[in-house]
Structure formats: C-alpha cells, structure tokens
Structure 1
Amino acid sequence: IEEAYGDYMATDAYANIQAVVQESLDKTRDKVVFHEGNSCPEFWEQTRIVGGINVAESILRSAVSMLDA
C-alpha cells in the first residue's frame, strides 16, 4: 500500500491537489477559518501518515495568529 501511495504521490494529479490545498492554506493564513471536519484522533493520525499533512500544525498556527492580532 505504501508503495502504491508513493507512486500516486509522484503523479501530476497529486501535485495538483497538493498545490490547490497549499493555495487555500496560503489564502487563509491570516484569517479565522471554521472547519467542520472529522475531529477523531484516527482522522488526524491517518491524514498525517497517508497525506503527509499534520492538520494540527495549521490549526495551531491559526490559533497563534489570533493571539498575535
């Protein structure tokens, strides 16, 4: 499974998805964004493992930006 996902991550389609997600994060960097996602620990862990994205980092940066404002 890891090899197949690694192959997928090397495709143009994955690069496009990653670029769109990053663009969205960049646009909302200094804004309060409400997200209704699955907040269970398994979702966070699997997102980090499979997608290489640590959702907690974005949420913590958002919280810190509100404190700094």
Structure 2
Amino acid sequence: DWITLGFRMALARAPSEAELRMSLAFLESQINSRMARKISEPAGDLRCQALADFCQGLFSLNEFIYVD
C-alpha cells in the first residue's frame, strides 16, 4: 500500500502497527478536510493531495533528516 511504500522509500523500513494506524487516520483526516473545503474536487485528486501531505510529513521526520 501507499503508506508502507512511503515509509520504505523515505526511511528504508516498514511502518510499525502504530505508525500505520496513525498514517491511515492522517490520510482520512486530510481527505475529509479537503472534501469540506472543495466540494467539486474529484475524489482521486483529494487522495493524491492527502498522499502528498503524508509524504511531506515523512520528509519532516527526524529519522529522515538525521542519519545515524
């Protein structure tokens, strides 16, 4: 799925169960928020925008920014 792929590409690991749950909740929240603001937006575009927000979040993680 997209969440696991994002974690693997950005952090070179799979998400934990907690990270997976939080990521799914984040994506759902982003889609719902965008739907409330842009009623005429196609559903596919909303998902793409939510995924872009999710990826930006991954790139903001300390785990991505700082290499051990």
Q: Same fold by TM (over 0.5)?
A: no
TMscore range, shorter length: 0.3 to 0.5
> Higher helix proportion, which one?
2
Structure 1 length-normalised TM: 0.34
Select the structure of larger CA radius of gyration.
1
Q: Which has the higher contact order (CA 8 A, sep 6+)?
A: 2
